[in-house]
Amino acid sequence: MLTGRLDAVVPLPLEVLPAPGQFHLTAATTVAAVDDAASDAVALLRRRVAPLPSATAAAAGRHDRPPSSIVLTSDEADPALGPEGYRLRIGTERIEVVAGGHDGFLWAVQTLRQLMPPELGDAGVPPDGVAVPCASIHDAPRYPWRGAMLDVARHFFSPADVCSVTELLAAYKLNRLHLHLTDDQGWRIEVRAHPELATVGGQTAVDGGPGGAYTQADLTAIVEHARRLGVTVVPEVDVPGHTNAALSALGWLSCDGEPRPPYTGTHVGFSSLCVEEERTYGWLDDVIGELAALTPGAWIHLGGDESAATDAEAYRGFVTRALDLVRAHGKVPVGWGEIGAAELGGPTVVQHWFDPRPTLAAAAQGAGIVLSPADRTYLDQKYDESTPVGVTWMGAITTERAYAWDPARSIEGLDPDRILGIEAPLWTETISTRAEVERMLVPRLPALAEVAWTSEASREWRSFAARLAGHRGRWDADGIAWTADPSVAGLA
Q: Is 60 exposed, middle or buried (0-12, 13-18, 19+ CB in 10 A)?
A: buried
Catalytic option among 167, 196, 306, 400:
306
Task: Determine the longest span between alpha carbons in the chain, in angstroms.
Answer: 75
CB contact at 8 A, 135 and 11: no
For residue 108, give the nearest of 116, 97, 96 by alpha carbon: 97
Catalytic residue list contains 306: yes
Q: What are phi and psi of 165, to 5 degrees?
A: -60, -40
CB contact at 8 A, 60 and 34: yes
Coil, strand or helix: which one is 94?
Answer: strand
For residue 189, give the nearest of 171, 210, 216, 164 by alpha carbon: 216
Q: Give the number of other CB atoms < 10 A from CB of residue 472.
A: 18
Q: Is the peptide bond before 141 cis (omega within 30 degrees of 0)?
A: no
Coil, strand or helix: which one is 418?
Answer: helix
CB contact at 8 A, 271 and 261: no
Q: Of all helices (H) and strands (E), which one includes residue 441?
A: helix 434-441
- Left, alpha or beta for 10 (phi > 0: left; psi -120 to 50: alpha)? beta
The C-alpha R_g of the chain, in whole angstroms, comes to 23
Cα separation, 175 vs 165, whole angstroms: 12
In sequence order, which residues have a C-beta less than 8 Å from that of residue 409 and are 6 or more positions away? none
For residue 166, give the nearest of 463, 482, 387, 445 by alpha carbon: 445
Catalytic positions:
306
